[in-house]
């Protein structure tokens, strides 16, 4: 199982939210590039980079952070937050993101996302399924829908999307453990899915548990910044 460290950006700084609440913001580092280089330094190969300003504004804001990290590391970056137009998508990929993370748009404008998949190929996308009680939530988690996570995933798996990360909003940023039962349920329905666990990871034991149930990767954020999982532990897990 691959470890994908997360860097969330507000006003160019590395932050974390709790339950997706912008009022519950904690700044961890003023220099995201420094954080990214530390991850690369222990052998990690991926990075989950989220423009929280962009997610809220509906357009990418923190271009410079993506550009710096893409230019000064070899990390394979998936970038999300505010990708709403084809022009923005192209710029994100041209700026150095390996994958574009799509969430709200896939719910609100499925025909647009399906057109992008046809044009750019499913492999450049990482689909985000943000979940509240097994239903999809969008718009930086501010809006709930009646779409089940299972229907949502099936729709886009049928279109060729292979990487889907699933975040349980009730778990995210709380360091209370991941939604293992939900992930098991998803993997029972879709055994071929490259399911990426996201939210709630609080210890090395959580990562071992996610690996055992068949997750292909896990996004880890707050646990690193709060030293619940040390850089050395991540390095050893990554071997």
Domain limits of the chain? 2-238
Q: What fold does the segment set 2-238 form as a domain?
A: TIM Barrel (3.20.20)
pTM > 0.75: yes or no:
yes
Q: Which residues are tagged catalytic?
A: 8, 130
Give per-residue pLDDT as tens, 113-164.
Answer: 999 999 999 999 999 999 988 999 885 556 789 999 999 999 999 999 999 9
Averaged over successive runs of 10 residues, the pLDDT of the chain (239 residues) comes to 95 83 83 96 96 89 96 98 94 97 93 97 96 83 85 97 91 78 96 94 94 96 91 83
Q: What does the pLDDT read at residue 169? A: 84
Strand partners, 194: 163
Q: What does the pLDDT read at residue 142? A: 65
DSSP per-residue letters across 90-130: HHHHHHT-SEEEE-HHHHH-HHHHHHHHHHH-GGGEEEEEE
State how far the Cα of 50 lies from the Cα of 86, in Å rounded to an integer: 18
Token representation of residue 118: 């046809």
């Amino acid at each position: 199982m691959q470890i994908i460290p997360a860097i969330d950006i507000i006003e160019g700084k590395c932050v974390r939210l709790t339950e997706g609440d912008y009022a519950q913001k904690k700044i961890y580092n003023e220099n995201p590039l420094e954080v990214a280089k530390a991850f690369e330094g222990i052998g990690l190969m991926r990075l989950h980079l989220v423009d929280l300003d962009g997610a809220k504004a509906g357009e990418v804001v923190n271009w410079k952070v993506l550009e710096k990290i893409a230019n000064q590391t070899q990390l394979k970056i998936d970038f999300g937050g505010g990708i709403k137009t084809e022009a923005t998508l192209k710029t994100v990929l041209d700026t150095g993101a390996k994958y574009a993370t799509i969430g709200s748009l896939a719910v609100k404008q499925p025909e647009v996302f399906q057109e992008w998949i046809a044009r750019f190929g499913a492999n450049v996308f990482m689909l985000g399924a943000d979940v509240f009680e097994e239903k999809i939530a969008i718009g930086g988690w501010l809006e709930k829908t009646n779409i089940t996570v299972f229907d949502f995933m099936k729709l886009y798996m049928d279109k060729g999307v292979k990487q889907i990360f699933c975040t349980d909003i009730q778990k995210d940023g709380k360091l209370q453990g991941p939604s293992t039962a939900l992930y098991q349920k998803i993997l029972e329905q879709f055994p071929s899915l490259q399911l990426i666990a996201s939210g709630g990871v609080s210890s090395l034991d959580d990562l071992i548990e996610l690996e055992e149930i068949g997750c292909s990767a896990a996004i880890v954020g707050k646990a690193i910044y709060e030293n619940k999982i040390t850089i050395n532990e991540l390095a050893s897990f990554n071997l």
